[in-house]
Structure 1
Amino acid sequence: MEPFKNLINPTTVANTGLHLRKAWPRFDRARFETQAATGLDRLEFKARAMQLADALEATLPDDFASACDVLEASLAPPVAMDAQGEPLKLGEARDAHGIGGWALWAVGEFVARRGVASEAAAQRGLACLHAVTQRFTAEFAIRPLIQRHPALAFDTLGHWVNDPSAHVRRLVSEGSRPRLPWGLRLQSLVADPAPTLPLLLALQDDPSSYVRRSVANHLNDIAKDHPDLVAGWVRDHLIDAPDERSALLRHASRSLIKAGHAPTLAAWGLASGLKGDATLALSAKRASVGGEVGLQAVLRSRSRVPQLLVVDYAVHHVRANGSTSPKVFKGWKLTLAPGEARTLDKRHSLKPVTTRTLYPGTHLIDLRVNGVVVAEAAFDLKA
C-alpha cells in the first residue's frame, strides 16, 4: 500500500507552482518548487505540508491581501455534492483546473500563519478560507483565527450558517469544535462552549448529512467536558424530532451512552437497568496479542414488559505500569421481550492499533446494560 505521506509529492508541488504562476505571472515558480520539493521524500506527512507552507511564505506577495488574491485565483473548482449533501470523490483529475486536494493543507496553513497578525488580516484570511474549504477543508486553518480574533470569527461564522455551500456550513461546526482531533485545542471553548451553541442550533437540521454529522461530532466534543449540557440538549431537541435530527442526536450521545451517563440514558428512555439476569462467558481464558477473544452474553428478562436495552462492554486494558484503564466498545441495541432469553456473540480483536499498546496481564471485561455493569469475565493476555 502506498504510504499516506505520498499524497503530498513532487507532482503536488509542481502542480501548485503551475497554477500559482498562471494566477500571478510574477510568481517565482522555480524558487517555490525548489524550496517545497527539496528533501521531500525524507519528510513525514505533516512536515511535507508545512514545508509547502514555508515555500508559499517565501514566494507569495508580502501584502497578505494580495497573496490571498493569488491563492483564490489559483484554486480548482469547488467540490460538488451528491444528493445527500456528501462531497463527491473526484480524485486528482481536478488538478488540471487549479490547486485542490492535499496541497490546500499548506495553503490553509499559510493563511493561518499570516491571518492572525491583525483583525484586518483575519477578516481577509477568513474570506480566503471560505474559498479554500469548498475545495478541501479549512477546519484546521480557521482555529488560530478563532483563538486570536474570537469576536470577528464568531460574527463571521454566524453569517456562514446560511451560506449556500454545504462545505462552508460544515466549516462553521467543524472548525469551532473544542477538541477537534489533530487540530489546535480551543481551550476557551473547552471551558465554555456557549459561543458555538447558536451555531449548532442553526445547523442541526441542515439538509446536508455532511453538515449534520459535524454537528453531532461537535456535540460529542462538548459532552466530554459538559455532559449535562449535552444531555439537556438531547432531551429538549428530541421532542418532535424528524428522523435526521434523531440520528444526529443519537450520534452526539454515543460517548455519554457508553459511559452510562444517567441523564443521557433517561433522555433516550434507557434510564432503567436490566430487569433480569445476565452472564458473560469468554471463548478462552488465555489469548495472545494479535489474536482475538470471543464474548458470549446471555440476557434473561424477568420483566412483564419489553425492555429497550443498549448493551456495551468495557475491556480493562493493562497499562505499562501494571494499572488498568477501561475502554468501552459498542455492542448491541435491542428490545428484550417479557421473559425472553437472548444470546449475544461478539469477537473482540486483540490486534495492536496506533492509539493503544497492548500489554500482557489479566484483562477484565465487563458487560454494561444501559450503562450499568451486569456481568464480568477475565482473560490473560500474552505478548
Structure 2
Amino acid sequence: MPTADELLSADTVSNLARTLARAARAPRSPALLTCAAALDGLGYGARVAAVRDAVLADLPDDWPAFEALVRTALEDPGFAGWMTFPVNEAVAVRGLAAFEPGLALLRDLTPRLTAESAVRPFLRADPGRALAVVRTWTGDPDPHVRRLASEGTRPRLPWAPQLPAFVADPRPAVPVLDALHRDPSAYVRRSVSNHLNDISRDHPDLAVETAAAWRSDPAATTDRVVRHGLRTLIKAGHPGALALLGHSPDVAVTVRGPVVATPRVTVGEYLVFEYEVTHTGPLPAELVIDYVIHHVKANGTRTPKVFKLTTRALAPGETLTGSRRHSFKPITTRRYHPGEHLVQLQVNGRVRGEAGFSLDVPVGP
C-alpha cells in the first residue's frame, strides 16, 4: 500500500497550491505552500487535516466564492488525484452550512478522486436530508457518483468516521443498495457488497433479508454480489446466510482432518495441515470449507479467527483433498503468544474436526 508520503506528498500539495492559485487568478496560495514544506513526519490522517486546513485558509470564507473557485479549478484537467482529497474535506467543512450545494460540489468532485469520506459529515449532521440527495445519485450516468452513493453511506467505512445512526439502524440507506445491486459497473457492485457486509456485522438478519430480496429477482451478477456481501456471515456459520446460498449446515459429509504436519511451530514459520472431505449424501452439495485458528491470548484463553479454504460443489461420493500452509510470520495487526493453539475444519459453518499444535514465540535480545 502506498505511504502517506506517496499519496499526499510535498510535490502533490505544491501542485495543488499552483492549481488553486491559477483558479483564483492569484500569484500564490501561501498557506498551502507553507504546508507543503512542513509535511515531514506526518502520517496520512494528519497530512489530510493539515492540507485541508491550508485549503480553508487560502480559499474564500464565504460559501458562494469558495464554491466558485473550486468549480473553476474543476475546469483544469490537472486538478485530479490525491490533490483533490483534502479539497473534498474542505468542502465538508465550508459546505456543511450550505448543505445541498455542498453535496452537489462533492458529487462533481468525486470523479477526480472519491469523496466518500467527505459526504459523511453531512450524513452525520442530518441523515434524512443528506439521504434525499444521495438517493438521486443512484441514477447518475457516472459510475463514480453511483459508487459514492453506496460507499459514502457505509456504516463502517474503513479509514473514515463511522455513521452511528446507520450502525444502529442501516435501513434508511438500504434503498440505495436496492437501486445499485444490479448496476452495470463492477466497481459500483463491489461497493454494494461491501456495504451489505458492513450491515451484516451489526444486523445479520437484515443483511440476509436484503440479499434474499435481491435473489428473488436476480441479475446475472446478483449471486456474486450476495456472496461477497454475506462473506462475514458465511465464515461465522450464520444459518440464514448459509441456507440462502444453498450451503446446508447439515450436509452429509465425512471429514478426515485437519491432520497437522507441523505439531510445533515457531513464529516466522508455517502451520501445515491436510484435510479430506467426502460427500456421502444422495444429491450434489455446495460446500463452503474454511478453517479456524484459535490463537492463544495473553491471559491464556483462546480467540478464534476464520480463514477461507475453498467453495466447491461435490457430487455424491466425491472426495476433496487438500492442504494448507498458514503463516505465523509477524504482522502488525496481531501479537502472538506461546502455548497450545487449535485448528478446526469448518464445513458449511459447522466444525467437523480439530487438532492442536504448539506455538513458540522467540524471546528477543
Q: How does the TM-score come out when normalised to structure 1?
A: 0.89
Native 8 Å contact 2:14 2:32 kept in 1: no
In 1, distance between residues paired with 2:333 and 2:110?
28
Structure 1 residues 142-291: aligned runs within 5 Å = 142-279=119-256, 280-291=258-269
Offset, 1:240: 4.4
Which is further off, 369-378 or 266-275?
266-275
In 2, distance between residues paired with 1:7 and 1:183?
16
Partner of 2:5: 5
Three-state SS of the structure 1 residue aligned to 2:294 is strand
Offset, 1:28: 4.3
In 2, distance between residues paired with 1:260 and 1:210?
28
In 1, distance between residues paired with 2:93 and 2:274?
53
Residues 68 and 324 (structure 1), Cα distance of their counterparts in 2 relative to 1, 3 Å cut: farther
Partner of 1:130: 107
Offset, 1:179: 0.7
- Aligned amino acid, residue 29 of structure 2: R
Three-state SS of the structure 2 residue aligned to 1:364 is strand
Q: How does the TM-score come out when normalised to structure 2?
A: 0.94
Which of 323, 326, 349 is equivalent to 1:348?
A: 326
Three-state SS of the structure 1 residue aligned to 2:116 is coil
Native 8 Å contact 1:367 1:374 kept in 2: yes
Three-state SS of the structure 1 residue aligned to 2:202 is coil
In 2, distance between residues paired with 1:140 and 1:290?
37
Native 8 Å contact 2:84 2:113 kept in 1: yes
- Aligned amino acid, residue 344 of structure 2: D
Provide structure 2 residue ranges, at least 5 long, that are not aligned to the other structure: none
State how many pairs are aligned.
360
1:178-209 deviation per Cα after TM superposition (whole angstroms, max 9, x unaligned): 11111111111111111111111011111111
Native 8 Å contact 2:249 2:347 kept in 1: no
Provide structure 1 residue ranges, at least 5 long, that are not aligned to the other structure: 78-96
1:330 is aligned to 2:308:
yes
In 1, distance between residues paired with 2:48 and 2:187?
25
Native 8 Å contact 1:6 1:45 kept in 2: no
Native 8 Å contact 1:28 1:59 kept in 2: no
Native 8 Å contact 1:285 1:380 kept in 2: yes
Three-state SS of the structure 1 residue aligned to 2:89 is helix
In 1, distance between residues paired with 2:2 and 2:87?
24
In 2, distance between residues paired with 1:61 and 1:232?
48
In 1, distance between residues paired with 2:75 and 2:39?
24
Partner of 2:278: 300
Residues 378 and 161 (structure 1), Cα distance of their counterparts in 2 relative to 1, 3 Å cut: same
Native 8 Å contact 2:111 2:145 kept in 1: yes
In 1, distance between residues paired with 2:283 and 2:31?
74
Partner of 2:18: 18
Native 8 Å contact 1:318 1:363 kept in 2: yes
1:252-300 deviation per Cα after TM superposition (whole angstroms, max 9, x unaligned): 1111111100011111111243413212111211112122111211112
Native 8 Å contact 2:11 2:36 kept in 1: no
Offset, 1:318: 1.8
Native 8 Å contact 2:21 2:28 kept in 1: yes
Native 8 Å contact 2:200 2:233 kept in 1: yes
In 2, distance between residues paired with 1:334 and 1:32?
55
Structure 1: 4+ residue segments shifted above 6 A: none
